[in-house]
């Protein structure tokens, strides 16, 4: 999961300042490591440098002046492209999978999240087939077979999670957009 992409997704709903982005990240992705304010602002700086976000204005409530940022057209294109990219199926991927589903819901809605989940499920199934074939290759050692079994077990758990999430994605959308 890329912090930059998550911030782009959080900005898809409209301009926000760094403090608000950090809060939204930590609230919407509670299983992820909380972002440091410095990480938010350094990422925003890189996104601005790359033309993916731009300053939307300044506001000052009861504290220091805060700069709000918004997506540029290029930023929206990059976010849309990222939401269609399938993650490489690998053990311990759930956090990236979950984060991408939440960002898809926030930025594009339930149809995009379902499209992503369906594509990710297909990628996992393809990888499991490859690993299953690798187990029966002539000369495959016990270590190779055990490593493949380990990876298959984790991928199978992710597949079950993908199926469950597909069934509950509309409910999740209501929760993350609340």
- Asked if 92 contacts 86 with a C-beta cutoff of 8 angstroms, the reply is no
- Output the pLDDT for position 90: 63
Encoded tokens for 83: 């939401």
pLDDT tens across the length of the chain (178 residues): 589 999 999 999 999 999 999 998 988 876 678 889 999 999 999 999 999 999 988 877 766 778 999 999 999 999 999 999 888 776 565 678 888 999 999 999 999 999 999 999 999 999 999 999 989 989 888 888 888 898 899 899 999 999 999 999 999 999 988 8
Secondary structure (DSSP) of the chain: --HHHHHHHHHTTS-EEHHHHHHHHHHH-TTSPPPPHHHHHHHHHHHHHTTSEEEEEEE-SSSS-EEEEEE-HHHHHHHHHHHHPPPPP-TT-HHHHHHHHHHHHHHT-HHHHHHHHHHHHHHHHHHHHHHHHHHTSTT--HHHHHHHHHHHHHHHHHHHHHHHHHHHHHHHHHHHT-
- Output the pLDDT for position 26: 86
User: Residue with structure tokens 């926000």?
Assistant: 16
User: Residue with structure tokens 């499209």?
Assistant: 115
User: Residue with structure tokens 């940022």?
Assistant: 69
Determine the 3-state secondary structure of 12 from DSSP: coil
- Asked if 124 contacts 86 with a C-beta cutoff of 8 angstroms, the reply is no
Strands 16-17 and 66-71: what pairing?
antiparallel
CATH topology of domain 1-85: Arc Repressor Mutant, subunit A (1.10.10)
Domain residue ranges in the chain: 1-85, 87-178
**Greatest CA separation for the chain:** 70
Judged by phi (left if over 0) then psi (alpha if -120 to 50, else beta), residue 48 lies in alpha
């Amino acid at each position: 999961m890329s912090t930059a992409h998550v911030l782009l997704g959080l900005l898809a709903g409209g301009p926000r300042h760094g403090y608000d982005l950090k809060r939204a990240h930590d609230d919407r992705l509670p299983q992820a490591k909380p972002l440091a304010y410095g990480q938010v602002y350094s990422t925003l700086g890189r996104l601005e440098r790359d033309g993916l976000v731009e300053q939307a204005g300044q506001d000052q409530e009861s504290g220091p002046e805060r700069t709000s940022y918004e997506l540029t057209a290029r930023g929206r294109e990059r976010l849309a492209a990222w939401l269609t990219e399938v993650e490489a199926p690998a053990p311990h991927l759930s956090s990236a999978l979950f984060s991408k589903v939440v960002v898809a819901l926030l930025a594009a809605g339930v149809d995009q999240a379902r499209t992503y989940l369906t594509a990710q499920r297909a990628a996992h199934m393809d990888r499991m087939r490859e690993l299953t074939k690798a187990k029966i290759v002539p000369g495959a050692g016990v270590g190779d077979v055990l490593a493949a079994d380990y990876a298959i077990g984790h991928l199978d758990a992710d597949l079950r999670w993908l199926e469950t999430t597909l069934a509950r994605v509309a409910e999740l959308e209501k929760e993350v957009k609340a």
